[in-house]
Amino acid sequence: MRIGLVGVGRIGAFHAATLKGLPAVDQVVVADADPARAEVVAKELGVSSAPDVTALLGSGLDGFVIAAATSAHADLIAAGVAAGVPTFCEKPVALDLAETERVLELVEASTVPVHIGFQRRFDAGYQAARAAVETGELGYVHHIRTNTNDAFPPHHEYIPNSGGFFRDCTVHDFDIIRYVTGREVVSVYATGANRGEAFFGEYGDVDSAAALLTLDDNTFVTASGTRYNGAGHDVRMELHGSLGSIAVGLDEHTALRSAEPGVTFPGGQPHMTFMDRFQPAYVAELTAFTEVVAGTRAVPCTVRDAFAAFRIADACELSRRENRVVVL
């Protein structure tokens, strides 16, 4: 199959390389807002390039992958749908809830499959945790803890259009909470602070945050995160139940050390980026998209799923700003 990709920044180039290596993909064609950059990346990866999105969508694609700037996602999804091409888009769908809802209505009114990129759904650990919940292995789950700790912050130019910490970073936790538990969030209380570079505060954002979520079965979730985790990139999830507990992301690469005498676990090299931590999940995610393109698999993460996660993130940002509980 022939897959087109728009946006060849860090994640876009990473996706293009992944797609090139998939058995189902015969051709990869890339485009970018900067055509010269698309040509350079195409040459580096040994793939083709198109001068713009219009040319890309008109080049006989079987599938369309969106890895452009967040501000372009909504229009690019609409373009993919209008062209009748199965579409994959990195999260988020849009910069705000109203635009996300507009895209949701557009997609659900069409027959074009649109897959949103929440790669944690394809991580083996999270899938095992979901199975443990579904089978009742843990009994009833009463508490969940999640964390998303980046080793270092993004460039300051990224922050103004990121949507803020909850919508950009913790939204991954919100999606995976729904995926693993099969439950919905009914209320949130969130807080955050800017303790690192001043530019976060200058843009009305925070670099560290935490939220207490209540699920519809009265499971309590604490979700925390930071842009500054010197030990490395640390993404984990703990589920504590009446019959047992399970942890995702707890292995030799966990960016944590024990204070207990004689304990050497974990002893491996910590991951430093999300691409290292989730490399197998990204391969599985894009493999799933090729199956969506082939018509052999239903969309595994829909725009409605993305809307639900974004709605939680939006509520957390409102809670943080107004210092109150927000009921969804």
The pLDDT of residue 202 is 94
- What pLDDT was estimated at residue 35? 96
What are 174's two structure tokens? Answer: 């919100």
Look at residue 325 in the predicted model and tell me its pLDDT.
Answer: 98
pLDDT score of 260: 97
What is the average pLDDT across 181-188?
A: 98
Q: 34-48 pLDDT, tens per residue?
A: 999 999 999 999 999
**91, 306 contact by CB (below 8 A):** yes
pLDDT at 54 over 90: yes
pLDDT for the residue numbered 161? 83
Give CA–CA dist 284/273, Å, rounded: 18
pLDDT greater than 90 at residue 82? yes
Across the range 189-201, mean pLDDT stands at: 96
- The average confidence (pLDDT) of the chain is 97
Of 152-161, 186-195, 211-220, 305-314, give the lowest mean pLDDT range.
152-161
How far is CA 46 from its chain centroid? 27
**Mean pLDDT on 50-63:** 97
Query: Edge-to-edge strands of the sheet including 185-193?
Result: 245-248, 234-241, 141-149, 220-226, 208-215, 185-193, 326-327
Q: What gap in Å lies between CA 295 and CA 159, rounded to an integer?
A: 37
